Structure 1
Amino acid sequence: MTPPNPSRAARLLSALAALAVLGAPAHAGNPAGGPYRNPDNKSRTDPAEGSYPVPYKKPVVAEIEASLQRIRSFLDAQTPTRVVHKGSGAEITDFSTPAQDAVVPTTAMDFGLQVYEMGVVHAGMLKAAQVTGDQRFSELTARHFQFFADRLPYFRAQQARFHLDGANSFARFLDPRSLDDAGAMCAAMMRARRAHVGPDLGAQIKVCGDWVAKRQFRLPDGTLARERPQAVSLWADDMYMGIPALAELGRMTGERAYYDDAVRNVLQMTGYLYNPQTGLYTHGWNANNPDAPQFYWARANGWAVLSMADLLDVLPKDHPGYPQVLAQLKKSLRGIAQLQSGSGLWHQMLDRNDAYLETSASAIFVYVLAHAVNEGWISPVTYGSVAQAGWAGLSTRIGEQGQVEGTCVGTTFAGDQVYYYNRPVSAAALHGYGPTLLAGAEMIRLLNNPAIDIQYRVRTYHYVPRKP
């Protein structure tokens, strides 16, 4: 999404320096970083058994849970919920009168509490709590959302008194100006409300929901769009920034119009952005240059399939758009699955094997593949082992302290391959954390799925439906 501003870029560099002390990514079962032996192999002396650059084995639930706990602990430490004076850093405890320099502090990682990436983190935390039964995951969401409920009036008063125009720490909530400001967090607040996690943020849900449903710029046909970087642009990212929020509004209110809008945007964005020859979504489309080259950025494809999965989770099965969305998700997952690399991860540019292997998109793909198998949308025979191999690669990107490595930083809609190829990666890019939580939680669900038998035959893994 939107690239970091200069001050944020400086903080990212600081975060990278801080991470030097955290250590290299963990290599499950192989700290030395060499080739992995398959622990399920029957003969250690048989050269045909082979070794692999990633752990080629059936994942262990306890190991996945441990990885998710490291991520949770890391995020918990990196997201303080307090208010300080900007200059001195002294904590503010008297909230009767707002101070002009009052801000929410950040750590070296600079993980904003209201950014869209944090909305994905909350989705991952809620999923992890649901799957594992460990409420420490949802406690982070409850803490953040209670902070919003407690301090929103204070920062609203600060804004009214000092007219800070965007410099206010609650600016994204007080005055949303884009789907990035509204959509993902709106969906997260509704999911938390439904799960009875944290306070009821109904008033803020209304503010963010109104932006997505009524105020966001759209094409004449109702497709969610942007006025940047080109005057009339579509971003595949905005499938996720808008569609899940619309779907959750439909579930929360019971109003079918929200579902209709969500389905319409899946199908219309697909019409503009999806290439049936490649089975992939191009990152963006510009109305003033509709014949521009297509660039298949991995995370954009991740947002597309994640939005469809989130919609199908709540869309009534009798909705006429349900089979259309499901059919498109199946086509998209097929195109993505066949481009998986030999490490289990996917490339930054999906169709370019010389592009680096990127974490956030890979995590989204693992989650959606595993989730679609668990929901019965796609065949476990075809896709179960793909999800497993994806998790194997993804697990090597989770550091010992819980940092998620190898994630592409914020990325705009660009017109050349060079830009995409050379986007930096950083553990300070929050985009990788929520998807990795989602992926791990859904893999646990897949491994525990009573309808699937995971068999090891002919030195590989087969996900087979259990006979009734």
Structure 2
Amino acid sequence: MLKSKMTSTGVALMLVSLLLLGGCKSIRVTPMSVRMAESEMKRSPEGWMLDFSDRLKWNYCHGLVSQSFLDVYDRYGDEKFFKYVKQYADTMIYENGEIIGYKPHEFNIDRINTGKILFRLYNKTKDEKYKKALDLQRSQLKEHPRTQEGGFWHKKVYPCQMWLDGLYMGAPFYAQYGKEFNEPEVFPDVVNQFMLIRKHLYDPATGLFRHAWDECRQQAWADSITGQSAHVWGRAMGWYAMALVDALDFIPAETPRRDSMVIIFRELVQAVEKVQDPATGLWYQVLDQGTREGNYLESSCSAMFTYAILKGVRMGYLDASHRQIALKSYDGIIKNFIRENADGTISITRGCAVAGLGGKPYRSGTFEYYISEPVRDDDPKAVGPFIMASLEMEDFKK
């Protein structure tokens, strides 16, 4: 009788009492990484629906979130996460390895990122269509246009340009392919991509990196002398930070200049920590403009930096003292960006929907441009890195 009369408030109070009495060990708390992944699966019941899609896409956002789901699967072993990603891949890939909507000779480096999910699918299932699709994406990089020093263009439609974003889209896949399929000549080429970014996009005045560089100095957004864009976009630097810690997983220790990648990562983290908001532990949409009117604390770059720093400490690239920076930022994400929804899901708020340079309509790269792009909840560029950062937190706590 007592159980049937117990109200929801009574249940809540009972749980609080158990916690206060030290009974929390008997209460299973769902990890935040799992909660966000399950929430995103509820919002997008099939993988092709990720990124608010209404049609099939082989899109870097789908790859980013799917990659984080596979990380959750690896950590906790729940098959539903693996099956979700596999269903997306099976929807997109024909038996001959061709991928719906993917055209290698468009030379869009964004499209490479999604290929990372195929390594784990192939290793687990041994289905040859995944290997064929991996080889197809690898073939793009064999012909992809480059700068005079060997840096991959961001896209064929953006000639002469390297973007920070592009290092995350291409380099970890490229390095993992080299490791998985015995192409050792890949590794110096991967390292060179990071060296070129350091050479051409680094701002010595701040230690930060500008969003993009135009080798040909043709774009209106490019400085006529340096070729750099004008500002430091938070998410672009977040992409670069994640690219460094992820690509290093696959590059052998003896590879020339690999140690320089670690140094670059350390310098990047030191510069990023200097512009961290002291009150919340978060980072701004435009990193080099701080509290300038219109600038705002943004969730995707905050999650990316949190993930990269936590992983950097775990892998030994950073001193353990840096972990406190990431713990503060993770706490700031939970307090400022994570929302509990009425249906039991959670959302991550305040993510910049998109930002770029050039194109039609033309994106100027000014401060006013970056703060004018739409802001939305549950943007995949925030969802995926938040799951990845949460997994790092969960491993650390364990």
Name the TM tier (shorter chain). 0.7 to 0.9
Q: CA deviation at 1:155?
A: 11
2:242 is the alignment partner of 1:306 = yes
2:201 is the alignment partner of 1:236 = no
Q: Which amino acid is 2:300 matched to?
A: S
Q: Which amino acid is 2:312 matched to?
A: A
The answer to whether the 8 Å contact 2:168/2:240 transfers is yes
SS at match of 2:186: helix
Q: CA deviation at 1:402?
A: 3.0
SS at match of 1:256: coil
The answer to whether the 8 Å contact 1:236/1:284 transfers is yes
- Corresponding residue of 1:247: 175
Mapped to 2, the partners of 1:217 and 1:429 lie a distance apart of 30
Choose between structure 1 and 2 for higher RCO, CA contacts under 8 A separated by at least 6 residues: 1
Structure 1: gaps of 5 or more residues = 1-38, 40-60, 83-103, 157-168, 449-468
The answer to whether the 8 Å contact 2:153/2:159 transfers is no
2:189 is the alignment partner of 1:261 = yes
* Alignment RMSD (CA, Å): 2.9
- Corresponding residue of 2:42: 77
Residues 316-395 of structure 1 aligned to structure 2 (within 5 Å) = 316-341=252-277, 342-354=279-291, 355-380=295-320, 382-395=321-334
Mapped to 1, the partners of 2:39 and 2:103 lie a distance apart of 25
Alignment deviations for residues 181-225 of structure 1 (CA, whole Å, 9 cap, x no partner): 2x211222224434x2684501111111211x2232210211011
The answer to whether the 8 Å contact 1:234/1:284 transfers is yes
Q: Which amino acid is 1:363 matched to?
A: A
Mapped to 2, the partners of 1:314 and 1:447 lie a distance apart of 26
The answer to whether the 8 Å contact 1:124/1:434 transfers is yes
Q: For 2:230, which of 281, 284, 294 is the aligned residue?
A: 294
SS at match of 2:280: coil
- Corresponding residue of 2:151: 223
The answer to whether the 8 Å contact 1:79/1:113 transfers is no
Q: CA deviation at 1:122?
A: 2.2
Q: Which amino acid is 2:108 matched to?
A: S
Mapped to 1, the partners of 2:196 and 2:175 lie a distance apart of 16
2:50 is the alignment partner of 1:132 = no
The TM-score, its normalising length taken from structure 2, stands at: 0.80
Identical aligned residues as a percent: 22
Q: CA deviation at 1:290?
A: 4.1
Q: 1:430 to 1:293 in 2, by over 3 A?
A: closer
Mapped to 2, the partners of 1:333 and 1:130 lie a distance apart of 27
Mapped to 1, the partners of 2:51 and 2:257 lie a distance apart of 44
Q: For 2:392, which of 438, 442, 449 is the aligned residue?
A: 442
The answer to whether the 8 Å contact 1:275/1:281 transfers is yes
SS at match of 1:399: strand
The answer to whether the 8 Å contact 1:191/1:248 transfers is no
- Corresponding residue of 1:26: none
Q: CA deviation at 1:357?
A: 0.6
Report how many aligned residue pairs link the two structures.
Answer: 350
Q: For 1:172, which of 102, 125, 137 is the aligned residue?
A: 102
Q: CA deviation at 1:362?
A: 0.7
Q: 1:376 to 1:268 in 2, by over 3 A?
A: same
Structure 2: gaps of 5 or more residues = 1-18, 20-26, 218-223, 358-363
Q: Which amino acid is 1:116 matched to?
A: Y
Q: For 2:381, which of 415, 423, 431 is the aligned residue?
A: 431
Q: 1:278 to 1:145 in 2, by over 3 A?
A: same
Q: 1:146 to 1:199 in 2, by over 3 A?
A: farther
Q: For 2:353, which of 401, 404, 409 is the aligned residue?
A: 409
Q: CA deviation at 1:374?
A: 0.9
SS at match of 1:403: strand
Q: Which amino acid is 2:170 matched to?
A: G
Q: Which amino acid is 1:434 matched to?
A: G
Mapped to 2, the partners of 1:231 and 1:176 lie a distance apart of 12
The answer to whether the 8 Å contact 1:118/1:434 transfers is no
Q: For 1:275, which of 192, 200, 203 is the aligned residue?
A: 203
- Corresponding residue of 1:68: 33
The TM-score, its normalising length taken from structure 1, stands at: 0.68
Q: 1:148 to 1:175 in 2, by over 3 A?
A: farther
Mapped to 1, the partners of 2:125 and 2:350 lie a distance apart of 31
Alignment deviations for residues 295-316 of structure 1 (CA, whole Å, 9 cap, x no partner): 1100110111111111111111
Alignment deviations for residues 137-156 of structure 1 (CA, whole Å, 9 cap, x no partner): 3332222223334xx36997
Mapped to 2, the partners of 1:141 and 1:108 lie a distance apart of 14
Mapped to 2, the partners of 1:370 and 1:230 lie a distance apart of 33
SS at match of 1:357: coil
Q: CA deviation at 1:293?
A: 5.5
Q: 1:148 to 1:333 in 2, by over 3 A?
A: same
Mapped to 1, the partners of 2:386 and 2:120 lie a distance apart of 18
Mapped to 2, the partners of 1:154 and 1:326 lie a distance apart of 39
Q: 1:132 to 1:344 in 2, by over 3 A?
A: farther
More helix by share: 2
The answer to whether the 8 Å contact 1:184/1:245 transfers is yes
The answer to whether the 8 Å contact 2:351/2:376 transfers is yes
Q: Which amino acid is 1:276 matched to?
A: P
Q: CA deviation at 1:325?
A: 0.8
Mapped to 1, the partners of 2:329 and 2:107 lie a distance apart of 36
224-233 or 69-78: bigger deviation: 224-233
Alignment deviations for residues 359-406 of structure 1 (CA, whole Å, 9 cap, x no partner): 1111111111110111111111x2111111111112232332233211
The answer to whether the 8 Å contact 1:138/1:197 transfers is no
Q: Which amino acid is 2:254 matched to?
A: D
